[in-house]
């Protein structure tokens, strides 16, 4: 069973979580070009490696960040947005 550590609820089976996509900076919709906005809305990075992602713990409604090696599918650490990452 795959496990994921929610920063609030602790170690849980991955079936309790939903993937929320890679953490990405949003361009300023007031100043960016149509091409930049379309790129943000429709395109995702498929480059393998270590990525920072949004994950959601379904029973408690907690959104958090996870650093995950998407090649090995191994979560390196998880933390609450705006807080220091756990070592």
Question: Which whole-number Å values give the CA distances from 34 to 3, 17, 40, in the listed order?
Answer: 40, 34, 10
Choice from 50, 58, 76, 86 touching other proteins (CB under 8 A): 58
**Nearer to other proteins among residue 16 and residue 67 (C-beta):** 16
Separation CA 60–CA 58 (nearest Å): 6
Give least dist CB 10 to other proteins, A. 9
**Nearer to other proteins among residue 46 and residue 61 (C-beta):** 61
Choice from 61, 73, 84, 87 touching other proteins (CB under 8 A): 61
Separation CA 41–CA 34 (nearest Å): 10
């Amino acid at each position: 069973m795959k496990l994921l550590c929610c920063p609030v609820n602790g170690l849980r089976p991955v079936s309790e979580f939903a993937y929320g996509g890679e953490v990405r900076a949003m361009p300023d919709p007031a100043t960016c070009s149509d091409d930049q906005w379309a790129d943000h809305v429709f395109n995702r990075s498929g480059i393998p490696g270590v990525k920072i992602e949004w994950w959601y713990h379904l029973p408690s409604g907690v959104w958090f960040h996870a650093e995950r090696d998407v090649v090995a599918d191994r979560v390196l650490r998880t933390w609450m947005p705006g807080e220091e990452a756990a070592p």
